[in-house]
């Protein structure tokens, strides 16, 4: 058997088709070319991926800058917290101590020790005290006197405004109430000097079954405090009616003394009643407090 015949038989026995040497080299070159093309195709994919990653990073950076810019704008545009000027006076004197014994002896001679303090849910913002005097003159009758002092202090508040402005509004309301008492006759009003920032005396006559009463109401404001002094007198059981001018003079003197007591209770010059942020507490409402002048008319 020839050598070529034996080689072809061996190839058949191994199950492999005969392959010329030239074709084997071509197949190897084809495989190498395939690998090169595969690597070349992968390069654009990687570049695209890197490009996407770069775009995403730059977008994120611009987003951070936008957030910082918007935050700075919001911070710059935010308005400061609202504030209000603190009220000048933070304290009230004891209402039954605003008048000296000497003054009480002139206004209520038989009632200097009869002071009765009114009820208050907050003595730092409101208070009152009243005195009554009945001087018996035997068969001539008797002289009656009644005195009441009411104090109301207003706190500065963001929603209601400055304390002195609130006090000014309440002061005006008190004067109007005194000028419009039901049944009053011969009503007159006049300013009172040297009694706080502003003060008004309202005078009128009031006829009741007990006798003819002469009413004097003085409303005064000092900073953020409003003081109302009611003073009236009558001759009962046949005694003569007191002179209205004398009563008015005594009322003016008393209200000046009471105003001085308010100033003194706050260290003469007044003290700030808390910081603006602490002044959000509710202040006394004028509508919640009874009008002293109307109470005086009912008491007369």
DSSP 141-164: -EEEEEEEEEEEE---BTTTB-HH
pLDDT in tens, 258-269: 999 999 999 865
Tokens read off for 272: 């700030």
> Which single residue is written with the structure tokens 């009031």?
206
206: which strand partners? 213
Q: pLDDT tens track of the chain, all 300 residues?
A: 555 555 555 455 445 444 444 444 555 555 554 554 455 444 444 443 444 444 444 444 445 555 555 555 555 555 666 788 999 999 999 999 999 999 999 999 999 999 999 999 999 999 999 999 999 988 889 999 999 999 999 999 999 999 999 999 999 999 999 999 999 999 999 999 999 999 999 999 999 888 899 999 999 999 999 999 999 999 999 899 999 999 999 999 999 999 999 999 998 655 443 333 333 333 444 434 445 555 555 565
Tokens read off for 267: 């260290």
CA distance 282 to 122: 12
| Among the listed residues 135, 139, 136, the one whose alpha carbon sits nearest the alpha carbon of residue 238 | 139
β-pair type (142-153, 225-236): antiparallel
- The pLDDT, as a whole number, for residue 209 is 87
User: In the sheet that 126-136 helps form, which strands lie side by side, from edge to edge?
Assistant: 116-117, 126-136, 142-153, 225-236, 211-222, 198-208, 185-191
Structure pTM? 0.67
Residues 6+ apart with CB under 8 A from 277: 81, 83
Determine how many CB atoms are found less than 10 A away from the CB of residue 274.
15
Contact (Cβ atoms closer than 8 angstroms) between residue 89 and residue 268: no
pLDDT in tens, 141-199: 999 999 999 999 999 999 999 999 999 999 999 999 999 999 999 999 999 999 999 99
Contact (Cβ atoms closer than 8 angstroms) between residue 293 and residue 177: yes
């Amino acid at each position: 058997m020839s050598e070529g015949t034996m080689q072809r038989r061996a190839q058949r026995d191994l199950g492999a088709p005969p392959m010329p040497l030239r074709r084997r080299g071509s197949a190897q070159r084809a495989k190498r070319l395939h690998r090169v093309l595969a690597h070349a195709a992968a390069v654009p994919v990687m570049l695209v991926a890197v490009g996407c990653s770069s775009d995403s990073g730059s977008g994120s950076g611009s987003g951070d800058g936008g957030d910082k810019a918007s935050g700075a704008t919001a911070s710059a545009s935010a308005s400061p917290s609202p504030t209000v000027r603190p009220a000048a006076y933070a304290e009230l004197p004891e209402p039954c101590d605003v008048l000296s014994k000497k003054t009480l002896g002139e206004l209520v001679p038989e009632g200097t020790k009869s002071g009765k303090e009114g009820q208050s849910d907050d003595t730092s913002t409101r208070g009152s005290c009243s005195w009554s005097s009945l001087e018996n003159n035997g068969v001539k009758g008797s002289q009656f006197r009644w005195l009441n002092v009411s104090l109301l202090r207003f706190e500065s508040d963001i929603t209601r405004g400055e304390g002195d402005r609130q006090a000014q509004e309440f002061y005006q309301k008190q004067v109007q109430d005194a000028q419009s008492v039901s049944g009053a006759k011969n009503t007159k009003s006049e300013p009172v000097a040297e009694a706080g920032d502003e003060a008004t005396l309202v005078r009128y006559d009031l006829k009741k079954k007990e006798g003819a009463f002469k009413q004097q109401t003085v409303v005064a404001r000092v900073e953020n405090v409003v003081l109302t002094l009611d003073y009236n007198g009558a001759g009962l059981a046949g005694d003569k009616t007191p002179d209205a001018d004398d009563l008015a003079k005594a009322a003016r003197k008393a209200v000046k003394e009471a105003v001085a007591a308010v100033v003194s209770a706050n260290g003469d010059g007044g003290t700030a009643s808390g910081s603006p942020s602490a002044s959000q507490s509710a202040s006394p409402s004028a509508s919640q407090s009874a009008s002293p002048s109307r109470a005086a008319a009912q008491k007369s």
